[in-house]
Amino acid sequence: VSEENVANQAFNNSDIGLLKAEAMKNMALLNNVSINANNVALTEDYEPDGYLFMCADSMEVRRTLVKRWIMSQSTKAVFEMRMGADEMRVYVLRNYSDYSSWLKVSDYKDEEASESLCGSKTSVGATAGMAAMATVWQFLNVIKNVDTWSNETVIYTSPFDIVTRNF
């Protein structure tokens, strides 16, 4: 966790210097939730297990890892989040068909992402909180086998609106 993560993601000053997985585990423990934090280098060779939450900064890395993970027999679902200054997106992928459709909305280079004047990706802490909320909501719907989960949730903040769709 670095300083810019505190403003743009769901971390606190006390998390600076920690591995992000460890900081998230500590956050979960504060809410009486126990999770396994895997501090491993994620490569194409990494064998995923269960539900995966993709928060990589690079779109190329996301595409590479999601392709590998969605084809793994042990992957139940992949949750992928994106944030900007005035919108956030949450994707839920459960099979190769979802992955193929996701690729259509993921085919852009890192340089095409919105940049702020200070050179970091444009987002704010409130946006990160809303993206986390939408991701947890989708996760709960998936694990409960509720039919209300969708492949894509887009939350616009100006004006406020929520749009969902399935691929």
Average pLDDT of the chain is: 80
78 phi and psi, to 5 degrees?
A: -115, 130
Q: What is the pLDDT of residues 23-81, one digit of tens each?
A: 888 887 887 777 777 777 666 677 777 888 887 778 888 888 888 888 787 888 999 98
161 phi and psi, to 5 degrees?
A: -160, 150
| Closest-CA residue to 30 (of 15, 48, 50) | 15
Indicate if the pLDDT at residue 116 is higher than 60: no
Three-state helix/strand/coil letters over the chain: CCHHHHHHCCCCHHHCCCCHHHHHHHHHHHCCCCCCCCCCCCCCCCCCCEEEEECCCCHHHHHHHHHHHHCCCCEEEEEEEEECCCEEEEEEECCHHHHHHHHHCCCCCHHHCCECCCCCECCCHHHHHHHHHHHHHHHHHHHCCCCCCCCEEEEEECCEEEEEECC
Global pTM value:
0.76
Report pLDDT for 32: 79
